[in-house]
């Protein structure tokens, strides 16, 4: 007889192995959710052993690679894991479909002059996945490999992480396809300010609060804050991860 399975948001972390720093989050969530009633199985593996084959994730690599040995597309992997978790949770199909569709996807072109006088063009993205629990939250990354699917997948994962941690935020993610190591400090600042000019109406303390991610740090967040404040007045809480010297640490 198949055991009764109770899956809550905590176990969503286990069936979405692509969550960054998953070991840290699993340890943290163990403490956060300890007072809650425990499910009636000793491990996720025990629960999976009793499930029909069609509900269990396949060990076979799906044909979702660009070439032999390539990594599975981030969005394909994330959606696949979410659908598996949704089946375990018994989510209504309409709700499942709704949760897979991001609230808003933004793509902007950031053009700026190079040191030699020619123009350089970079593509920036911001995916705002879900705001049902509060303002959307997620990092911005500068990396040559940034693409719409990666940003979409990471935005979705931010929604699940904030929900599992039970904090009043939704999920978002952003990035620019560039190699920050090949840009001077002045060009990085210029690129960041152009990106912010294109995005300022779509972020905000009650809407979407960016944070640092791969390839950027406190200085970049300070540039975003400064550029955003030109349009909306001094708004220190519009980003997190700023330098403490920006005198805004109390507000974010």
- Determine, yes or no, domain membership for 179: yes
Task: Please check whether residue 19 lies inside any domain of the structure.
Answer: yes
CATH number at residue 220: 3.40.50.10860
Measure the CA–CA gap between 35 and 8, rounded to whole angstroms.
Answer: 13
Q: Active-site residue among 173, 187, 230, 250?
A: 173
- 1 within some domain: no
> Within this chain, do residues 137 and 186 fall inside the same structural domain, yes or no?
yes
Show which of 32, 67, 99 is a domain's final residue.
99
Q: Supply the DSSP symbol for 61.
A: P
Known active-site residue 173: yes
Of 9-23, 49-63, 170-184, give the lowest mean pLDDT range: 9-23
DSSP assignment of 27-72, as one string?
A: HHHHHHTTTSPPPSSS-HHHHHHTS-GGGSPPSSPPS--SSTTPPP
- The conformation of residue 182, written as its DSSP 8-state character, comes to G
65-94 pLDDT, tens digit each: 334 344 568 899 999 999 999 999 898 988
Predicted confidence (pLDDT) at residue 222 exceeds the cutoff of 50? yes
Overall residue count recorded for the chain in this entry: 252
Q: Which residues contact 232 (CB under 8 A, 6 or more apart)?
A: 200, 204, 238
Same domain, 217 and 157: yes
For 143, which DSSP code? Answer: E
Answer yes or no: are the C-beta atoms of 202 and 138 closer than 8 Å: no
Q: Which two tokens stand for residue 208?
A: 């979407």
Q: Are residues 107 and 218 in the same domain?
A: yes
User: Per the structure, how many domains does the chain have?
Assistant: 2
Close Cβ partners of 91 (under 8 Å, ≥ 6 residues apart) = 99
Residues 121 and 204 grouped into a single domain:
yes
Which structural domain, as residue segments, surrounds residue 109? 102-251
Cut 0.75: pTM above it = no
Query: Which among 81, 99, 117 is the end of a domain?
Result: 99
């Amino acid at each position: 007889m198949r055991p009764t399975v109770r899956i809550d948001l905590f176990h969503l972390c286990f069936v979405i192995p692509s969550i960054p720093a998953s070991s840290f989050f699993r340890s943290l969530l163990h403490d956060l959710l300890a007072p809650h009633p425990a499910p009636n199985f000793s491990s996720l593996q025990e629960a999976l052993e009793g499930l029909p084959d069609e509900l269990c994730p396949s060990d076979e690599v799906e044909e979702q690679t660009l070439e032999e040995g390539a990594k599975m597309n981030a969005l394909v992997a994330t959606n696949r894991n979410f659908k598996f978790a949704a089946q375990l949770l018994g989510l209504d199909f309409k709700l499942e479909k709704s949760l897979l569709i991001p609230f808003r996807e933004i793509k902007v072109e950031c053009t700026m002059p190079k040191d030699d006088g020619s123009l350089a063009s970079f593509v920036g993205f911001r995916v705002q996945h879900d705001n049902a629990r509060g303002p959307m939250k997620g990092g911005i990354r500068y990396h040559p490999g940034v693409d719409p699917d990666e940003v979409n997948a990471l935005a979705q994962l931010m929604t699940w992480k904030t929900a599992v941690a039970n904090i009043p935020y939704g999920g978002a993610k952003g990035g620019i396809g560039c190699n920050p190591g090949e840009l001077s400090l002045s060009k990085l600042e210029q690129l960041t300010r152009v990106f912010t000019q294109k995005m300022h109406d779509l972020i905000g303390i009650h809407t979407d609060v960016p944070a640092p991610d791969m390839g950027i740090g406190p200085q970049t967040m300070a540039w975003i804050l400064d550029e955003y404040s030109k349009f909306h007045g001094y708004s220190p809480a519009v980003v997190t991860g700023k330098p403490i010297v920006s005198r805004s640490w109390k507000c974010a």
